[in-house]
Amino acid sequence: MDKIEFEGYKYIDGGVCAAAGFKANGLNCGYNPDKNKNDLCLVVSDVICNTAGVFTQNKVKGAPVIVCQEHLKATAGKARAIIANSKNANTCNADGHEKAEAMCDLAGNALDIDSKEVLVASTGVIGQVIKIEPVEEHIEELVEGLSYDGNAKAANAIMTTDTVPKEVAVEFNIGGKVCHLGGMGKGSGMIHPNMATTLNFITTDVAISSEMLKLVLTETVKITYNCLSIDGDQSTNDTLIVMANGLCDNEEITAEGDDYEIFKKALYIVMMNITKMLARDGEGATKMIECTCKGAETLDTAITVAKSVICSPLFKCAMFGEDANWGRILCAIGYADAEFDIDKIDLDISSKTGTLEVCRNGAGVEFSEDFAKEVLKEEEIYININLNQGNVSAKAWGCDLTYDYVKINGDYRS
């Protein structure tokens, strides 16, 4: 998937290890029976980090989510490490909290740091008791293998039904200092807004206060991960953590201003790209779909309309069938919980093949079905809506709904 270039920001390798002072590692501890796949990882900063997190809004929360929230409260937004596993979500288990705390204790002891400075995340099957023994048996090996280029091993360890790892990092300048921000994510199914990340970890060497980090994360998640939907199911374990260790030695960002905006743009670039990667790798997906709604009076209206289209099962099926059934798009726009004049709407469907104009002023226009087929054959489809009622725009991301999605989720536990 091609990345959009942004002036002043350079894409680099390294994922969560792109920023100075961050090590990572991943290995197979036994949760995954396939010994070629990692299932346990650790991300560690050389120094304490200002840290912020965003978590699922599902009333059913995985024990790791609750433990993360408790630790961040206890440390006033500080952390040194994240330990995470795949294959078992540690959710809806009577001993889940105890096991999540035990993972933090094991990592803290092995790293010789306070276990409250360790955050924990799990993903996988819900409702199965997680064994702590695999972590106990492999924590020393995991810590000993930490390296400043261990990001790929860590990214591999959080994959479940993902077909590819998801990593993005950028380099940029703040106050004459070279800064870095990078992240990794996982997610393929059970992804729906508020928030739709499953597991995502972002690290940076920028110096920014905990308060500003919380603010910038809240602002950015609204226009990235919260605008992603794969299947309409909101996960119990959604976790997004951002750690900032300040090692690039910039003047700490403690208020909104130019430096804050530069950092915010870097965070957006990484989170937006991972969001698109999550959409492209949706379970069984053959197409990544991006919906842009412009010409709105407010940001909330633009987001609501774009998400309404992305979340429509009928629209997603039409994209899988490469059918330019634009009426399904108008239908999804029409039931969006926002105020606008439907008779002013223009709608195009595009891909790298070209742009198909299908609707003007709320009414259909003639188009070539043959050309429509060519446009929809591509792997990346763009839905462009113009409400023609304002100057605000927003994007949402998703994928098509395919036969393979049903196959994958028909026997997920096995």
The residues annotated as belonging to the active site are 197
Q: How far apart are CA 384 and CA 381, in angstroms?
A: 10
Residues with Cβ within 8 Å of 222's Cβ and at least 6 positions away in sequence, in order, are: 303
Measuring CA to CA, which residue among 124, 72, 116, 74 is closest to residue 96?
A: 124
Residue 209 Cα distances to 116, 182, 243, 251, 253, angstroms: 19, 18, 11, 11, 6
Do the beta carbons of residue 134 and residue 86 sit within 8 Å? no
Which residue type, as a one-letter code, is found at position 312? S
- Rounded to whole angstroms, the maximal C-alpha distance in the chain is 68
Do the beta carbons of residue 333 and residue 348 sit within 8 Å? no
Indicate the length of the chain as a whole number.
414
Q: How far apart are CA 358 and CA 362, in angstroms?
A: 10
In the sheet that holds 346-351, the strands lie side by side as 363-364, 354-360, 346-351, 380-386, 288-296, 392-399
Tokens 């050309």 locate to 371
Summarize the chain as % helix, strand, coil (round to 5): 35, 30, 40
Q: How far apart are CA 57 and CA 64, in angstroms?
A: 14
Integer Rg of the chain from CA: 21
Q: How far apart are CA 308 and CA 323, in angstroms?
A: 19
Q: How far apart are CA 67 and CA 404, in angstroms?
A: 35
Dihedral pair phi/psi, residue 21, rounded to 5°: 85, 10
Cis ω on the peptide bond leading into residue 195 (within 30° of 0)? yes
Long-range contacts, stretch 213-217, CB < 8 angstroms, 24+ apart: 213/50, 213/51, 213/52, 213/77, 213/242, 213/244, 214/52, 214/77, 215/256, 216/260, 216/263, 216/264, 216/267, 217/52, 217/53, 217/54, 217/242, 217/267
